[in-house]
Structure formats: C-alpha cells, structure tokens
A and B are shown apart, each in its own frame.
Chain A
Amino acid sequence: MPLRVGEKDFEQRVNTGLEDAFMRGTVRSAQEKLRTRKQASSEELGDWEAWRTLGEDIRSHTLEHLDYYLEQLSDKVAERGGHVYFAKTAEEGNAYVQQVAREKEAKKIVKSKSMVTEEMSLNDALEDDGLEVVETDLGEYILQVDDHDPPSHIVAPSLHKNRTQIKDVFADKKGYEESDHADDITRFVRDELRGDFLDADIGITGCNFAVAESGTVSLVTNEGNADLATALPKTQISVMSMERIVPTWEELDVMVSLLCRSAVGQKLTSYITALTGPKGEDEIDGPEEFHLVIVDNGRSDILGTQFQSALHCIRCAACVNVCPVYRHVGGHAYGSIYNGPIGAVLTPLLDGYEDNKDLPYASSLCAACTEACPVKIPLHEHLIAHRQIITEKENLGPMPEKWAMKMFGTGASKPKLYRLGSKQAHRVMRPWTKGSSISNGPGPLKAWTNARDMPAPANERFRDWFANRRRSEPDE
C-alpha cells in the first residue's frame, strides 16, 4: 500500500466519512477512551510538562545530529554481526528486501506492524516476487484479509470496521464460523497465525526506536506478534525510517514512556522488545541473520526546513485522538496512511503539495494537536505554514478558500465595504437562521453546516456593542 491511498478526491472522501454513521460513532468513542486513558496515565507521571520538554529536547538533539547517530547505530549493528542497508528511496529499500528473500529462497514472510513498509508498498513488491506475506498485528491482519482495506488510524488501523463486518470478512475469506465477539475472533486469528509464525522463513518488523549506542532495535507492542516474528524465522529484517533513533538506552526509557502513555494510556505496553543483532551462537531461538534497512524516502528533504520538527514524531497518534476534524471525517478522508493532524503535516512533505493541497485545510487550527503532542511538535503552526505556501507560492489553494479569501480581502481592505458587510450579515443570513444558529447554510457555508451548526451573526455587531459599551461606561 503506498503512502497515498484511494482514487477519490478530498471532498468525496470527506463526504464518505461524514455519511458513515457507524464509523463516526466508533471514532468518537475511540477518541474519548484513548484521550481519557492518556490523561490518567500522564498525570501519574508527575510533571507531564517536564516529560514533554525532555521528549522535545531529545528528539531535536537527535535530529540535529542524525548523521552521527545513524553512523554509530550502523557500526554497532555490524559489530554484532548484523547487516545494514541505507535506502535513499522506497524502491531501493524494497529491492534490498527482495534480494535477501531471494537469497534465502524464502516462501513465506510474517510481518509485524510497520508504517514505513506500508509507505514503501513493500508487501506489493514481495508479493510480485511470488512470496506469501502475512501481517500478524490483529488490526493489520483484518485489513489484509479484507482485500487490503487501507488503515484509518495510526495505532488502531481497523478502527473503522465493526465486529460484525470483521466476522463477515473472516467467514467469507477464511471459513470462520464462530460469533462476532472480539474474543472469539481473536482466538481464531491466534490459531490461524500460529502455523504461519512456525513456517515463515523471514520475519519483517518496523522499528519504534533504534538505540545508537548498542545497535538495538526496539518494538513496542501488545499482542506478542512482533516477539514471535523475531523469535522463530531464521532471518529477521527490520525496516526503520531514518529518524526513529535515540542516542542511548536512557533516552529509550523516556521515549517509550511517552509513547505508551500517549498512544494507549498504558504505562508500558505488554511487550517492549529490544533486539541487538542476530541470536548468540549458543542460543536456540532468535534469528540467525539480522538485517536493518534504514529508509530516507523523502525525509532528508524536510531536514533544515521550517518543518524539521515534523520528523520528531513518534507515531503515538495523540494528535489524531484529540482532533475534531478527524472525529468527524475519519481516517480514510485523509487519503494517506498517515492521517489526523500529523498526517496533514507529513503527507504533503513526503508526497508533494500537488495531490495533497487539501490536507492542511482539514483542520480547524484549534491547536489541540499541538497541546497533545508528547514531543511538542507545533502541528497547527506547520499546518498554517503549509497553507501559506499553498496559497502564496504555489497558487494551489482549494477553490472555496481562494474565493473566500479574495472576497474577504476585498471587503476587509476597504473600511466602508467591511462596515456595510458586517452590518448586513445578520439580515442576509436570516433565511437560514434557526434561533441562534445556522444549520443548513448556503454556498461555502454548506460544507461546514452539513456537519455542525454555525452560530448566526449577532443582532448587534461587536463594533456597535463595543462602541455602546464604551459610551455607557462612567468616566474614571
């Protein structure tokens, strides 16, 4: 699956999301659950703001010296007998993994969840070579069995599906005959995949954080699938995007603590697996061969720009879980495997503005994302900066925005016109006004009022109210 998913344009995707009542319901309750849990678990940590500051300092120091830490990491992996491949592009990375698979005469690959391999369409490349690739994260497995349905949330990829739909997918494709209870479905998947773990020739994982000082790859999971995928196959290939690295084990502690709390409100997930090189000589389980693929794929172009801090992201989805726009339109509306506020920031950077010019507008700029981010990425400021670039430099602004900005610009630059416009607003909008709100607005307002009410213009303008108030105040 590439970075960008689906053929529909932004507006169609948004409408599909808005019309999907089930999806909106699950997204709302998921956001609430995750947000509440994050809040409770971060309060226990004491001074959460100090933790965020530390997280930000670690990420920005590491990114500023990325070449140094990547060099150290690769030396340490090699010292422990592992192989490292630096891939500038997705194609180079895929070709390397394909080559390893051919050398090993591999037939089956088990994979644990990895966003960067999604971005690279690695599964497609391997399947083109005739390999069987099995996703082993429960959410990813559901999507894979359902004819590669795209993920809709960074942490919970199958959030948009309900259990009956999931049951039907397994009944249809895998002959599943039990109930639609999550317990029964999960038990079925456990039994299905156990054989795959045992047969697989290669285990492919992502990497939450690599540790430069020791050449270690860490994986943060709950299901135990990444652990089996790295304990059983003879060959392990871990694919990391180049920014997912910390200097030492001490920083690993901080980043993992921030990630688990921000993503799912856990103190630690059930499994944090730190893997250094292949298994030791006398060890029985664990891979005989270890490969680390470090992927750039457009990230170095973000370094040294005003967007550099977007690379601080640790993929916790805390921004997604507080976003009011995501809440209404759901993950598929973003048309990218990276959704929510970070998706709206990152997708245009990795894939260009041309096909993604609507994404920075999928935000109300309420800044809840910035406040939620455990490493203090100024997400809403990045969205504003994207908008500036789109409207000023590239002239790619979406039509309603261009139209509205032009009208506002003309109106606001001429004091008489502005006064007239704001005086008339109340009267002009009256046909669409019910009580104090507009619920079925005309023209450009329609897109807004389809999803929520717009406050009607006040009977008294702020300017008039302010002037009257000044007049009625007693002299001091």
Chain B
Amino acid sequence: MSRGNIQGRESFLNQVAEKLGRPRSEHVERPEWQAQPQWDVFADENTDQLVERFKAQCDNIHTDVIETDMDGLQNAVAETIGAYQADSVIMWADDRLECAGLDDAFRSQMSALGVESAVWDTAKGEENIGVAERASVGITYSDITLAESGTVVLLAAPEKGRVVNLFPENYIAVIPRSSLVPRMTQATHRIHERVQNGEDIPSQIHFVSGPSNSADIEMSLVVGVHGPVRATYILLGDI
C-alpha cells in the first residue's frame, strides 16, 4: 500500500508546541495511570456469570438471545428467520459459520423452504452490496463478545462485508461462549497488543450492541433507524 500525503503539519504542530510553552516533544512515554478501575469490572466472574450478565444486558438493548449448541444452531437460525418472516439472507463467507453448520447443505434446505441465501463473495465485487441491500436477514460471527454491554465485535476482512450487519432489517450474530470477555477493556487491550507487535489492525473494527436506534424525536426511543430494526444473538456452547 502506498503511503498517504501529510500536508501542513510542521507549522501546525510548531504552533501547538509554542503555545504549550516548550519545544516540540520528541518522545513521550504514556504514563502508568494511577487509577485503573476498568480492570476491576467483573474481573472475578467466570464464563457462566458473564453469560448471565450478557443475557440481562441484551434484554436492555432489545436483542433476543437463544442459547444452543452446534447441533442446535441450524434450527435456531431457521426458527429466527421464520419468526422474522424473512425470505432472503446474506452471511459472511466465514469458515467458522460454515463449520458451525451454516454450510451449503443448510442453504439448500433453506432454499427449499423459500428462503434465498447468499454468502458474501469477494469474486463478485460490488454485486454483494446490492445483494445485502435486498436481503432481509444478515448473519455474522462475533470475533469478541462483551458481556457488560451486550456487544459483538466484528473485525473487517475481505470475506466479512461491512454492510452485512447494517443493511438488512434483521441481524443475527452467532456467538461462541468462548468469545465472551467482561467488557471493552479486554477487547481494546488485545487490539493494543497487536499494534504494539507491529501488526496491522483491521480497516474497520465494529462494536455492535443490538439493533440501531434513536431518541432524537422528543427523546422517545425508536428501535431501528438506518441499521437493523431487530437483532438476535445465538449463543453457542464451546466448540
């Protein structure tokens, strides 16, 4: 990837330093912060306890939770699609979804039931965006899951289109129990470590907590604005 341009930097930063009353900072060590309460939140809780927290929070953010295992995933997804009265689905081209049972055979079965399903296909380029726009359900996997806020963390990659969890009116996230951490602190710490190791981080890291919403009209909550209107999380026992 070619390096981008930087314009107007020197005089801008010189002025900042001058106003701060010192020469330009050559090197700055981030201090060890005195208070670090973020690490104490739910620190001692085991996965079962975190699952309970997660479920309770999902209730607050208008998100249904189905607990099942690998054998039950196909049923849970089919039932959710049925409950949404949906006729078209788009999902990430993610090995983990396929291994969990959302594979070609499953898609053929769905098709026999009148539900068209598509997988995000990098070979098809921008066609994918139109497919996602017309789909009524989008399915992704959760890369990291935050118990406190009921959040799935989605790390962008070519086979994991960004609009899959945005365009369709209904959103399903498949969540392995093992992806659960107490809160955002653990997720951002992992990303920080990747940066420190010199790795490139994904072009988009999306923290998604339930369906889209707004309270811009008279402060009354409307669930479903530009993103999904309804969301279901399917929590899978450890794989």
- Chain B nearest Cβ from A92, distance in angstroms: 7
In the complex, what distance in Å separates the CA atom of A321 from the CA atom of B196? 39
Interface string of A187-209 (1 = CB under 8 A from B): 10110011001100000000000
Residues on the B chain within 8 Å of A294, using CB: 12
With a CB–CB cut-off of 8 A, which chain B residues contact A280?
A: 156-158, 202-203
Please tell me if the beta carbons of B207 and A156 are within 8 angstroms of each other in the complex.
no
Q: In the complex, how many residues of chain A place their beta carbon closer than 8 angstroms to a beta carbon of chain B?
A: 112
Residue B185 CB within 8 A of the other chain: yes
Q: Which residue of B lies closest to A48 (CB)?
A: B37
Q: Is the CB of B162 within 8 A of A231?
A: yes
Interface presence of A81 (CB below 8 A): yes
CA distance A252 to B185 in the complex (A): 9
From B68-76, B111-119, B172-180, B219-227, give the one contacting chain A: B219-227
- Quick check: is B20 within 8 A (CB to CB) of the other chain? yes
Given known contacts A186-B224, A222-B225, A273-B206, A249 and B192 CB-to-CB distance under 8 angstroms: yes
Contact with B along A280-295 (1 / 0, CB 8 A): 1111111000100010
Which residues of A lie under 8 Å from residue B109 when comparing CB positions? Answer: none
Q: Digitize A249-282: 1 where CB-to-B-CB distance is under 8 Å, 0 elsewhere.
A: 1101110110000001011111111111111111
Query: What residue of chain A has the Cβ atom nearest to residue B25's Cβ?
Result: A68
Is there an interface contact between A71 and B129, defined as CB atoms closer than 8 Å?
no
B108 within 8 A of A: no
Of the listed residues A30, A77, A213, A283, the one surrounded by the most CB atoms of chain B closer than 10 A to its CB is: A283
> Shortest CB–CB separation between residue A160 and chain B, in angstroms?
10
Q: Give A162 to B217 CA distance when docked, in angstroms.
A: 7
User: When the two chains form their complex, are residues B6 and A78 in contact, meaning their CB atoms are under 8 A apart?
Assistant: yes
Does A225 contact B162, Cβ atoms closer than 8 Å? no
Residue A147 CB within 8 A of the other chain: no
A26 touches B16 (CB 8 A): no
In the assembled complex, A86 has its CB within 8 A of some CB on chain B: yes
Residues A78 and B4 in contact, CB atoms below 8 Å apart? yes
State whether the Cβ of B28 lies closer than 8 Å to any Cβ in chain A. yes
Contact partner, A45, options B41, B122, B212, Cβ 8 Å: B41
B20 pairs with A227, CB closer than 8 A: no
Q: How far, in Å, is A306 (CB) from chain B's closest CB?
A: 13
| A–B Cβ pairs within 8 angstroms, 27 of them | A26-B218, A26-B219, A46-B41, A51-B37, A58-B33, A67-B13, A81-B3, A86-B6, A86-B8, A88-B11, A138-B216, A138-B225, A156-B215, A186-B214, A194-B226, A222-B225, A225-B225, A230-B204, A231-B166, A249-B188, A257-B184, A264-B215, A273-B205, A279-B203, A281-B1, A285-B128, A285-B161
Other CB < 8 Å A-B pairs besides A81-B4, A137-B216, 11 of them? A57-B33, A66-B16, A71-B13, A142-B216, A182-B218, A198-B133, A230-B204, A279-B156, A280-B157, A281-B1, A283-B157
